[in-house]
């Protein structure tokens, strides 16, 4: 593998649609309430892409340091593990994406200042800094939270609540408690993708001391947990539409439900962890499709 291909592989482009799900949904919800800005949309999208790539690079680095990336790992080979990219090179690239995330995020806040007070902007800046810290500390550091079963919580917060609600707030400068319902849907579906990842890697994670939630509760309970994630995500979306009912076009998001249910059935019937690998991409794309259909249905 060439160096260029190794870097593209390390960026893990297949994870980007999932990361964009919250930005798109937050934007659609803002449009449905009469607010939109092209600059905010583009900058929020760019910042999210930088943060996701930062998270992927840090994860590659952290798992290589801890030994979680080895020959027994089920998923695709990581860049540092392959030896094509050194740890020093990966650290430098992590620093690059920290700065890119900061610059893009600051520009985003500058554009949003027409609606936000300086105190509100500072709070949003703090959330952004926490997002950068969360992206790195998932597997990097003396006590990475991803190795202690807290990955699910952080994914729910940053891929769901902070992503959707934060994006909506940047457009509107206001909050509505019902926004937390679809935000929770995206957050829970994103946690579902992480749960699939951890179910796939449960054997190797157990051997290497990576105590994910799946390692802690076991594969059987992880399947039940997955059921709750999907069902509650769908229920929260239905609740939001019922509260804000206007027309049947709002039911467009139901087109995503067969995809989510199919993924759920595959997980519930699974007997061999490595067979879950293709489901990560499918659930991530299903989540993105859910965000699109839900958002478009709200503005039609």
Number of Cβ atoms within 10 Å of the Cβ of 213: 21
**Contacts with 144 (C-beta within 8 Å, 6 or more apart), sequence order:** 62, 66, 137, 138
- Indicate whether 11 belongs to any domain: no
pLDDT band, very low/low/confident/very high, at 72 (cuts 50, 70, 90): low
Host domain of residue 77:
17-299
Q: What confidence score (pLDDT) does residue 207 get?
A: 85
- Indicate whether 148 belongs to any domain: yes
Number of Cβ atoms within 10 Å of the Cβ of 72: 11
- pLDDT tens column, 48-59: 999 999 999 998
% of the chain exceeding 70 in pLDDT:
95
- pLDDT tens column, 169-192: 999 999 999 999 999 999 999 999
pLDDT band, very low/low/confident/very high, at 74 (cuts 50, 70, 90): low
Average pLDDT, the chain: 91
Q: What confidence score (pLDDT) does residue 184 get?
A: 98
Residue 16 has pLDDT above 70, yes or no: yes
CB hemisphere CA count around 292 (13 angstroms): 12
- Tally of structural domains, the chain: 1
Q: What confidence score (pLDDT) does residue 78 get?
A: 63
Q: What is the residue whose two structure tokens read 């067969």?
A: 258
**CA–CA distance, 179 with 196 (Å, rounded to integer):** 26
Span 230-250, average pLDDT: 97
Q: What is the largest CA-CA distance in the chain?
A: 56
Residue 70 has pLDDT above 60, yes or no: no
- Indicate whether 3 belongs to any domain: no
- Indicate whether 201 belongs to any domain: yes
- Asked if residues 242 and 279 have their Cβ atoms less than 8 Å apart, the reply is no
Residue 164 has pLDDT above 90, yes or no: yes
Q: Which of 168, 214, 169, 175 is nearest to 191 (CA)?
A: 214
35: left (phi over 0), alpha (psi -120 to 50) or beta: beta
Q: What confidence score (pLDDT) does residue 40 get?
A: 96
- Indicate whether 10 belongs to any domain: no
Helix axes 38-66 and 3-11, enclosed angle (nearest 10):
110
Q: What confidence score (pLDDT) does residue 67 get?
A: 59
Span 231-243, average pLDDT: 97
Give the single-character DSSP code of 77.
P
- Indicate whether 271 belongs to any domain: yes
pLDDT band, very low/low/confident/very high, at 76 (cuts 50, 70, 90): low
Task: Say which residue, 300 or 4, is predicted with more confidence.
Answer: 300
Span 94-122, average pLDDT: 93
Residue 33 has pLDDT above 60, yes or no: yes
Number of Cβ atoms within 10 Å of the Cβ of 281: 15
Burial string for 227-242 (b: 16+ CB within 10 Å, else e) reads eebbeebbebbbebbe
pLDDT band, very low/low/confident/very high, at 47 (cuts 50, 70, 90): very high
Span 76-86, average pLDDT: 74
């Amino acid at each position: 593998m060439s160096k260029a291909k190794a870097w593209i592989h390390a960026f893990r482009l297949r994870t980007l649609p999932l990361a964009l799900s919250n930005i798109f949904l937050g934007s659609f919800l803002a449009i449905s309430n009469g607010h939109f800005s092209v600059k905010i949309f583009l900058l929020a999208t760019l910042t999210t892409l930088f943060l996701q790539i930062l998270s992927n690079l840090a994860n590659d680095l952290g798992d290589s340091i801890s030994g979680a990336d080895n020959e027994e790992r089920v998923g695709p080979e990581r860049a540092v593990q392959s030896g094509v990219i050194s740890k020093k090179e990966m650290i430098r690239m992590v620093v690059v994406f920290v700065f890119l995330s900061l610059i893009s995020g600051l520009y985003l806040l500058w554009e949003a200042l027409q609606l936000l007070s300086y105190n509100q902007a500072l709070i949003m800046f703090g959330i952004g800094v926490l997002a950068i810290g969360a992206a790195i500390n998932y597997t990097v550091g003396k006590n990475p939270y991803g190795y202690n079963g807290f990955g699910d919580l952080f994914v729910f917060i940053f891929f769901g609540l902070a992503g959707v609600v934060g994006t909506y707030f940047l457009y509107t400068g206001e909050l509505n408690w019902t926004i937390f319902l679809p935000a929770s849907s995206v957050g829970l579906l994103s946690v579902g993708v992480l749960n699939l990842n951890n179910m796939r890697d449960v054997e190797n994670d157990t051997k290497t001391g990576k105590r994910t939630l799946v390692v802690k509760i076991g594969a059987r309970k992880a399947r039940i947990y997955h059921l709750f994630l999907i069902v509650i995500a769908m229920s929260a979306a239905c609740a939001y539409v019922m509260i804000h009912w206007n027309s049947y076009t709002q039911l467009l998001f139901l087109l995503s439900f067969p995809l989510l249910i199919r993924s759920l059935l595959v997980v519930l019937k699974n007997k061999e962890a490595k067979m879950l690998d293709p489901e990560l991409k499918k659930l991530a794309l299903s989540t993105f499709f859910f965000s699109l259909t839900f958002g478009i249905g709200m503005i039609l």
